[in-house]
């Protein structure tokens, strides 16, 4: 656990940035400390946002552990 915590790096993402797109390879876990993140999917080339997460969430953990590609679109809202 200590080895994992040593590699954490803070960063700031601006609104509108796509963290993960559908079928993207996920090789990082992102911990959200402030702001809002939207999660959804794409159908007929139109993005549909279904969930909105506030601060204190982690994204990409399941995909990293299971070595899977992203199933959803994750976008920074604020």
Question: What's the pLDDT tens digit per position in 23-78?
Answer: 999 999 898 889 999 999 999 989 999 999 988 889 998 999 899 999 999 999 98
Greater pLDDT, 5 or 13? 13
Greater pLDDT, 53 or 1? 53
Which tokens is 31 given? 């911990």
CATH class (in words) of the domain with range 13-76 = mainly beta
Q: Residue 5's pLDDT is what?
A: 79
For the entire predicted model, the pTM comes to 0.81
What are residue 30's phi and psi, to 5 degrees? -110, 120
**18 pLDDT more than 80:** yes
74 burial type by CB count under 10 A (0-12 exposed, 13-18 middle, 19+ buried): buried
């Amino acid at each position: 656990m200590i080895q994992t915590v040593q590699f954490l790096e803070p960063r700031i993402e601006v609104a509108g940035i796509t963290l993960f797109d559908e079928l993207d390879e996920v090789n990082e876990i992102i911990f959200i400390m402030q702001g809002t993140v939207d999660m959804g999917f794409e159908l007929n080339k139109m993005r549909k946002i279904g969930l909105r997460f506030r601060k204190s969430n982690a994204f990409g953990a399941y995909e990293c552990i299971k070595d899977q590609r992203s199933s959803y679109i994750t976008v920074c809202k604020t």
